[in-house]
Amino acid sequence: MGRMDVRFVATAFATAITIIDPIGMIPMTLGATARVSAKRRNQIIDQAVLVAGGIMLFMGLVGHALLDYLGITLPAFMIAGGILLFLIAIDMLFARPTGAKRTEAEEREAAEGENPAVFPLAVPMIAGPGTIATVLLLVNLSHGDRLNLAIVAIAYTVALLATWLCMRGSTFLLRIISNTGIHVTSRLLGIILAALAVQFVINGLIQTPLLKH
């Protein structure tokens, strides 16, 4: 185990918090969980953060080997993430009605079938292409040093904790927004999300080796 590199510590924490953007997850959480109960929303948030943490750990351990084996590039990840986000943005913009009246059993089925914890909250909003790319980059910069690898793990754990706190705080914000406010916010977020999705695709295309020249 090597000596602690202060610059590496600063880089790891700054990168983790910037790329995950805990405060930026507040509006996304509001948009994705606007139509569920407060209790259900908290369950979704807990699941999203745990799933995202699991994905980051998995990619940190075997990410490079897996992507190389499958022949998948990070630009391809970005393009795929952008396309998936765009589909979600369309749903948010047109706010499809979920049905006027349902039985309790139908409501439970709907809640289970429309769980946004894994997609889009965990992937690609928390553990998206950019996050996966920075995890792989920092693991490479660690050069196998156990202390540096531990620092990377701690940095992303702190960033995920901050994200969880911000997302849980969105429940309080939602209480002071009316139904009309929710619909307006959802559509505005849909526009922003659509732009973000297009930017993901553009970034992926720019970084594609064949298109660089």
Name the residue with higher pLDDT: 119 or 24: 119
Q: What one-letter code names the amino acid at 164?
A: W
Q: How sure is the predictor about 110, in pLDDT bands with cuts at 50, 70 and 90? A: very low
Q: What one-letter code names the amino acid at 157?
A: T
- Highest mean pLDDT among 72-86, 147-161, 174-188 belongs to 147-161
| pLDDT the model gives residue 178 | 65
Average pLDDT over residues 128-150: 87
Give yes or no for residue 103 having a pLDDT over 90.
no
Nearby residues of 42 by Cβ (< 8 Å), 6 or more positions away: 168, 171
Percentage with pLDDT > 90 across the chain: 31
Give yes or no for residue 90 having a pLDDT over 50.
yes
Q: How sure is the predictor about 98, in pLDDT bands with cuts at 50, 70 and 90? A: very low
| Element housing 192 (H / E) | helix 179-206
b/e per residue, 132-169, with b = 16+ CB within 10 A? Answer: bbbbbebbeebeebeebbebbbebbebbbebbbebbbb
Q: How sure is the predictor about 117, in pLDDT bands with cuts at 50, 70 and 90? A: very high
| pLDDT the model gives residue 78 | 75
Nearby residues of 37 by Cβ (< 8 Å), 6 or more positions away: none
| pLDDT the model gives residue 112 | 52
- Highest mean pLDDT among 59-68, 70-79, 93-102 belongs to 59-68
Taking the CA atoms of 185, 23, 48 and 170 in sequence, report the sign of the dihedral they define: negative
Which residue in this structure is represented by tokens 């407060």?
Answer: 38
| pLDDT the model gives residue 137 | 82
Which residue intervals of 126-145 are DSSP H helices?
Answer: 129-142
Average pLDDT over residues 111-118: 72
Give yes or no for residue 33 having a pLDDT over 60.
yes
| pLDDT the model gives residue 102 | 39
Q: Mean pLDDT across the chain, nearest whole number?
A: 81
